[in-house]
Amino acid sequence: MKILLFILLSFTAVICVAQTGTPNFNITSSDESLRDEPKDNIRQYLAQLDIKTSDSQDFIRQQVAKQTLLALQAVGYYQGKATVTITGEEQLEILVDVKLGYATLMAQSDFKLVGDGKDDPEFKALRAVFPIVYGSKFHHGRFEENKSFFNQLAQARGYFSARWVVSEVTVDLVSNRAHLIQTFDTGPRYRFGQTHIPKDHAAIELIQAMIPYQEREFYHSDLLAQFNYSLNKSQYFSSVQAIPAKPDADTGVVDIALSLIDKPRNIVELSVGYSTDTGARSSVKWTKPWINRYGHNLVTNLNVSEEDKFFTTDYRMPHGDPNTDYTSILLGWQDLNTVGQNYEKYSLQWQRHQPTSSDWERTIFLKYEREYDRSDNSASDLVIPGISYARTRRRGGLATFWGDRQLYTLEAANKAWGSSSDLIKLSVHSNWLRQYNETHQLLLKLELGAINASSIDDVPHSLRFYSGGDDNLRAYDFKSVAPLTFDFYFDEKIPRGGLYQALASLEYSYPVAENWRLATFYDTGTTTDDFSESLKANAGVGVRWQTPVGPIRLDFAWGLKKDAHPAFDRPFRVSFAIGLNL
């Protein structure tokens, strides 16, 4: 009996499968009135139909015509007509001939904004770009999209009880006109309440310094996002989140609760990497996020490559927001041995970082540097006060699609305060990344610099300008572009650094597959003492691969200028690097 039942069930299933088939739809327009948008929408609507070969042709014809007209109405065509022709038996062939008709236009758009937000400039600005106005083509998708925009804006600005009191659309089929009546009640606008930090937590004062809003200030999701960004950017927490509580309708406030997990007392990170500038390299980073209850922390780095070794330790003491308002004491050592640069340097530096009112970070510093030049057995001692202004903005995280980085630095040394030479150095770095139509990316980079000194010999190698490498003039070797001097040890001319620098780079990239972009670029500029040399220039192509650790860049660059020096005579170079070139 069980075997017989199994056979009957299997036979029934085979019959059902045989009677169910996916019909082939052919959507045409004999009067050539059909456009791409309504045609695509018809395809989507017809794909929702469940048609069986056992269904009668009259039923199928009725269902196809109904779905087609609904698809047209959704994009604003209420006078459309559809003629359905069915052929085939085992495999249905369904021809849908569509006459689009005239688009339905708005005859009336009655929109009212009530509640506490009726005079909110953000709502007024959104209403000003409302796409459904008198005389415009009516579109159900844009109608629903606009409702969503108002709901999102209300939530972002603290109107948590906002609602659509009325939202109706009627279409007069005779006049082919739509009438829209909408009333959006924003309700009251809520304010920030208390920020609840776990009791007895060591970072209470530091967290309070990072809060970008005041209690009883109007709520805005951007301020909460800024708070979360600052918390996560700080050195102190392995996991932290500021979460809004349920709005209190009685008090009109939204409390913020913090969920956080402290970082370990000691963190050690080991890493290896490679770039065509430095070759293989390895590093060790030791971090102590918490040293005392004042939020002092220590970061120590040791980096080793074949030609460059350096050690730094940075002791930070926050005064307010630990991300932007702190003092640093830095101790450093570097041993560099490349063609044109062969020195050992020790440094001690005091830095005072402070935010400005315009998203810039100002750093006032005082550093002492002792540099021993092994090429001529000379030493220099410099006491250098200076100031810098920096700003970094970016969107997209590791897959950055928009951003800019600015760094302007002025520093000076003088014999009057114990330096071995007099000099003033100014440097400017300005990089801009922009994306258009979610595809085209443009990257512009500018580097300018000048040193005022009586002679290049008064400037230690570490303060001189050099160019060439993965970040600029990519066809030229790393730090190879600079005025040349003859070196008897190498028996050739080598770069000795310059007093001035002017570099520019323009790069365009386009996506060719998920996480892959092709790039083309042009670099130009020079490092010089008097701009008597001609500018170097190169062009090339490259590949950008977006990985979980950041973009990987592979570039092929060709020099464009002839030169008497073999290394500068239309060179070719392959460049490989990891990280955002911003």
Within 276-373, strands assigned E span 279-288, 297-305, 308-318, 326-338, 341-355, 361-373
Give the model's confidence band at 436: pLDDT under 50 very low, under 70 low, under 90 confident, else very high: very high
Rounded to 10 deg, the angle between the 221-233 and 140-156 helix axes is 60
pLDDT, tens digit (0-9, with 9 covering 90-100), for 389-419: 999 998 888 789 999 999 999 999 999 999 9
Strand partners, 484: 495
Higher pLDDT, 359 or 212: 212
Based on its alpha-carbon atoms, the radius of gyration of the chain, rounded to whole angstroms, reads 34
Q: Which of 23-32, 86-95, 105-114, 504-513 has the highest mean pLDDT?
A: 504-513
Sole residue written with tokens 């801009």? 432
- Provide the pLDDT for residue 503: 98
Mean pLDDT score, 195-213: 89
Q: Which residues, listed in sequence order, are joined to residue 342 by a DSSP beta bridge?
A: 337
Mean pLDDT of the chain: 90
Cα separation, 209 vs 514, whole angstroms? 41
Q: What is the pLDDT at residue 131?
A: 65
Q: Under DSSP, is residue 306 helix (H, G, I), strand (E, B) or coil? A: coil
pLDDT confidence bin for 8, thresholds 50/70/90: very low
Question: CA angle, 342 as apex, 338 and 347 as ends, to 5°?
Answer: 115
Q: In the predicted model, what is the mean pLDDT of residues 471-480?
A: 94
How high is the pLDDT of residue 5?
Answer: 40
Return the minimum-mean-pLDDT range out of 28-32, 244-248, 454-458, 460-464.
28-32
Spatial contact of 66 and 60, defined as CB atoms under 8 Å apart: no
pLDDT at residue 447 is higher than 80: yes
CB of 34 within 8 A of CB of 9?
A: no
Angle between helices 57-74 and 36-46 (to 10 degrees): 140
Sign of the Cα pseudo-torsion (478, 483, 487, 490, in order): positive
Q: Is the pLDDT of residue 14 over 70?
A: no
Buried b (16+ CB within 10 A) or exposed e, 437-470: eeeebebebbbbbebebeebebbbbbbbbbbbbb
pTM of the model: 0.75
Q: How confident is the model at residue 349 (pLDDT cuts 50, 70, 90)?
A: very high
Q: What is the pLDDT of residue 21?
A: 58
Report how far apart, in Å, the C-alpha atoms of 525 and of each of 231, 466, 546 are.
Answer: 41, 11, 29
Q: How far is CA 313 from CA 68, 252, 299, 347, 361, in A?
A: 70, 48, 6, 11, 21
> What band does 23 get if pLDDT is binned at 50, 70 and 90?
confident
CA atoms within 13 A on the CB side of 467: 30
519-530 mean pLDDT: 97
pLDDT at 314 over 90: yes
**How far is it, in rounded angstroms, from Cα 466 to Cα 496?**
8
Partnered with residue 417 across adjacent β-strands are: none
d(CA 405, CA 382): 28
Q: How, if at all, do strands 440-452 and 423-436 pair?
A: antiparallel
Instruction: Taking the CA atoms of 66, 71, 73 and 77 in sequence, report the sign of the dihedral they define.
Output: negative
Does residue 67 surpass a pLDDT of 60?
Answer: yes
Q: Which residue has the higher pLDDT, 2 or 111?
A: 111
Question: Over 80: is that where the pLDDT of 572 sits?
Answer: yes
- Sequence-separated (6 or more) residues with CB below 8 Å from residue 508: 440, 441, 442, 443, 519, 520, 521
At 45, the pLDDT band (50, 70, 90 cuts) reads very high
